[in-house]
Homo-oligomer: A and B are copies of this chain.
Amino acid sequence: MTGNQVQADNITMSGGGLYSLATVGAKHVIDLATPRVIAALESLRERKAEHWCFSDMGCADGGTSLDLWRHVIKHIRSTDNSDIQVVYADQANNDFNALVKILHGLTQFDSYLQASANVTVMESGASFYTPILPRASLDLGFSATAMHWLSKTPINLGSHIHMVGATGEEKSRFSSQAADDWQNILLQRVREMKPGSKLVLVNFCIDEQGRYLGNTGGVNMFDQFNSNWQQFVDDGVITVEEYNAMTLPQYYHTVEEFSAPLLHKRSPVYEAGLRLVDIETAVVHCPFAEDFRVHGDSARFADAYLPTIRSWNESVFGGALSSERSLQERREIIESYYNTYRQQVALSPKGHSMGYVHAYMTIEKVS
């Protein structure tokens, strides 16, 4: 196992239910997908199933999709009392204690489970790069804001922290890794899908206008992260090696890249029976920047905004620091790093936002 793989394996979302509390924007992204999921469900109506089997891949603590599944169950129950099984999957170092407690109604989150008859939920520690379900058992698979995480970092970037700032050979290495990973994700799914079943996948993308997460007008969030991290090198806070090690193992596909294996008749994914039903992109505005437009309090904005950032990248920044530093020292550097960013936001709030840019797609397995 290489150092890069160790790093990628140790990436975690915030635990204990904090992920969902911090990421109201991720919930808005899922809410926007609800009509698409219901439409996919409608197309499956004619099937006679023993029970409905759904998956929620890359679910984190499960809080952001509670309303989606509540809608799905309500929709089914209008005509159909079949049993429903929802399988929540995330990598094995996810916080499953938080997930189970949220689903079973032991937290402040409003779960659908207690009010639903003949609905069972299960959790799986299998990542979407591996089998999650038995062969031909899935009716509808869902995933939101998860599959941008690559299976490994193909190369540490020398001049940026994210592939959105990569160029040349470095960019190619990321594109190649991402194409392999996307194909693998789809091939793992097609085996577990029933004939005629659907996937609704909602993934970060670079849209037709070149927009992506945190780059929807105003300050480019990833460029800001990068220049702050570079400044830490210039100030002697971190080493060049630590700068390089901070490479997010993520890739934001374009619509063309997402579509390619589902459209090209010679691709293994197409040959396995997966077809693109449709794909579209959408921007979901940063809820914290939107709130700021109303309340106008820059410190309040900065305080609300930082946790959503930290929820998904703190473990990667932390992992980039040398293990020769004490844990305490590493913590102080990370606190200082986020504090720098917080101050930038608080001093000059206009233009800062983490707008979400996603591709929403529906995929079918041909019968």
Contacts and interface: CB of A to CB of B under 8 A. Distances in A.
Interface of A: 50-51, 53, 83-85, 87, 92-97, 99-101, 103-104, 106, 118, 120-126, 131-137
Contacts of A120: 124, 126, 131-134
Nearest to A130: B120
Given A106-B92, A125-B103, A125-B123, A118 B97 contact: no
A135 B104 contact: no
Query: Which has the most chain B C-beta neighbours within 10 Å: A50, A92, A120, A133?
Result: A120
Contacts of A93: 101, 106
Query: Which has the most chain B C-beta neighbours within 10 Å: A50, A83, A121, A134?
Result: A134
Given A104-B125, A123-B124, A124-B123, A95 B97 contact: yes
Contacts of A118: 131, 134-135
A96 B123 contact: yes
Copies in the complex: 2
Contacts of A131: 118, 120
Contacts of A106: 92-93
A123 B100 CA distance: 9
Contact of A101 (B92, B104, B133): B92
A51 B137 CA distance: 9
A34 to B, nearest CB: 23
Nearest to A103: B125
A50 B83 contact: no
Contacts of A84: 134
A-B pairs, 10 with minimum CB distance: A100-B125, A51-B134, A83-B134, A92-B104, A96-B96, A122-B122, A123-B123, A83-B135, A104-B125, A122-B124
Given A85-B133, A96-B99, A122-B123, 10 more contacts: A50-B136, A53-B134, A84-B134, A85-B134, A92-B101, A92-B104, A104-B126, A118-B135, A120-B124, A123-B123
Contacts of A137: 50-51
A126 B94 CA distance: 19
Contact of A122 (B87, B97, B99, B104): B87
